[in-house]
Structure 1
Amino acid sequence: MFWNKKKKLPITEEDKIWVDEDLNWLKTEFGHDHFMEIRTITPTKDFYERTFDGTEKDAEFILERTMELMNIQNVDINLEFFSDSPIEMADGTILTTPADLDGSWESASGTYEQTENGTIISIEIRQLKNPISLIATISHELAHQILLGEKRIEENDEYLTDLTAIVYGFGIFIGNSQFNFSSFSTNGGFGWQSSSQGYLPQQIIAYSMAWLSKNRNEKTDYSQYLNKSMKKYFDQSFEWLIENER
């Protein structure tokens, strides 16, 4: 009967397999005790005690605080800013960005680079207007530091990078962010760019969060923080995990 219909996952079995494998790899890599003690980060003053005003000081505060939350220690990370917006000159002409000219990407949100002068995270200046997106971007770039900077992997893996930020509790920010993110390569670094298709869709982000919530026996009330589609996918995933994985 319809009321006995089994719950369905919002992701494919193929995606479930690799997500489970990557999450379990991160659990082993970080150590069971540390992995299990990580808390979900919520968009509240419990985690980011600041009134944001859209300045570069906001990004500096978020970088420092997010490094604490992601257990990144004993490393100096330089924060820089750039703009991909067209520039209006004094004579009224508009200077467009390389992105506008070749159409290869829409807008970079942030980049991570390891250079001879140290580690640099660069933030597109418009990110300062949206703390949720800014936190999502910075947590992603710091996940590169955890994986590449700490030499846990040798080659960049964007799927694993996204999952690392989610493992460290930033799924709400990444899932709710107004952008879908994909990546691009720079000389010596990697970054996010906004586009219509991201490396991790909301369904996989939500499933990963549900997997973590169940395995960590979390008590976070996600309904307070997730947008409508994220909440739907999270609830579907969590209910399926409860029903099928003992």
Structure 2
Amino acid sequence: MFWNRKKKLPITEEDRIWINEDLNWLRTEFGEEHIQEIRTITPTKEFYERTFDGTEKDAEFILKRTMELMRIENCEIKLDFFTDGIIESENGGILTTPADINGKWESASGTYEVKENETIISIETQQLKDPISLIATISHELSHQILLGENRIEENDEFLTDLTAITYGFGIFIGNSRFKFSQFSTNGGFGWQSSNQGYLPEQIIAYSMAWLSKERNEKTDYSKFMKQSVKKYFEQSFEYLEKEKIE
């Protein structure tokens, strides 16, 4: 009967297995008590009490606040900035751009680096225009500090790094920033850019959030802040996990 059909996941069984393994590893690494204390962060004044104006001070505020939310203490992190976008001349012409022949480009949103006992997070300046993406980027880079900086892993793992940020409650920001499309035009040219921020696809981000919400018995009213595609995958995953629990 149709009412007995098993709920389908938006991810493969192979992906489900490794995600569960990684999330359980993080739970063991951080401790059950700490994991249960974490709640999903929403793009509201409750978590980020600030009127953003697109300046570097926004990034400084977000870095400090996100470190508090992720409980990163006794660590000094330097914030730096770089530009990897369009550079225009005074008359509006394009001087340089990383765009390819089709007019699109992908650039790094941020980087994490440790050198000479100094920890540096660098932010691409275009991020300053979008607080959601900026928070997603900084939470990801701070997850490098939690994993690599605190010697929890020996080699960089970007998938695990994204999962760490999601575990600390930043799934909405990472999911909503997953794919960006925008156009630009100047007196001297035009084009478009697309970027894939982060490393995990929307389906895996959504499933991971549903898994964590179930494990924490967390209300899912935060789903109203998700963009539509992520919300759809989240609801599918949550229904699957609910059904699995009942059976």
| Both structures adopt the same fold (TM-score exceeding 0.5) | yes
| 1:203 corresponding residue in structure 2 | 203
| 2:136 corresponding residue in structure 1 | 136
Q: 3-state SS of the aligned residue for 1:48?
A: coil
**Do 1:132 and 1:173's aligned partners in 2 also have CA atoms closer than 8 Å?**
yes
| Counterparts of 1:5 and 1:178, CA distance in 2 | 31
Q: 3-state SS of the aligned residue for 2:85?
A: coil
**Do 2:106 and 2:196's aligned partners in 1 also have CA atoms closer than 8 Å?**
no
| 1:226 corresponding residue in structure 2 | 226
Alignment-mate amino acid for residue 208 of structure 2: S
Deviation at 1:3, TM superposition (A): 2.9
Alignment-mate amino acid for residue 5 of structure 1: R
C-alpha offsets along residues 100-153 of structure 1, whole Å, 9 cap, x if unaligned? 4799x6212111111115000011111011110000000000000000011100
C-alpha offsets along residues 145-203 of structure 1, whole Å, 9 cap, x if unaligned? 000011100000011000000000000010011537xxxxxxxxxxxxx7358521110
C-alpha offsets along residues 195-228 of structure 1, whole Å, 9 cap, x if unaligned? 3585211100000000000000002403321111
TM-score (norm 1): 0.87
Q: 3-state SS of the aligned residue for 1:9?
A: coil
1:118 maps to 2:118: yes
| Counterparts of 1:76 and 1:89, CA distance in 2 | 37
**Do 1:82 and 1:122's aligned partners in 2 also have CA atoms closer than 8 Å?**
yes
Alignment CA distance shift 1:95-1:144 (3 Å):
same
| 1:186 corresponding residue in structure 2 | none
| Counterparts of 1:49 and 1:91, CA distance in 2 | 38
| 1:74 corresponding residue in structure 2 | 74
| 1:52 corresponding residue in structure 2 | 52
| Counterparts of 1:145 and 1:62, CA distance in 2 | 16
Give 5+ residue unaligned stretches, structure 1.
181-193
Deviation at 1:94, TM superposition (A): 4.3
| 2:157 corresponding residue in structure 1 | 157
| 1:61 corresponding residue in structure 2 | 61
**Do 1:77 and 1:118's aligned partners in 2 also have CA atoms closer than 8 Å?**
yes
| Counterparts of 2:160 and 2:219, CA distance in 1 | 25
**Do 1:133 and 1:179's aligned partners in 2 also have CA atoms closer than 8 Å?**
no
Moved more, 85-94 or 6-15: 85-94
Alignment-mate amino acid for residue 16 of structure 1: R
| Counterparts of 2:101 and 2:25, CA distance in 1 | 38
| Counterparts of 1:211 and 1:203, CA distance in 2 | 12
| Counterparts of 1:36 and 1:64, CA distance in 2 | 23
Q: 3-state SS of the aligned residue for 1:113?
A: strand
**Do 1:222 and 1:231's aligned partners in 2 also have CA atoms closer than 8 Å?**
no
Deviation at 1:231, TM superposition (A): 1.0
Quick one: percent identity of the two aligned structures? Answer: 75
Deviation at 1:86, TM superposition (A): 3.1
| 1:10 corresponding residue in structure 2 | 10
| Counterparts of 1:30 and 1:217, CA distance in 2 | 18
| Counterparts of 2:10 and 2:213, CA distance in 1 | 17
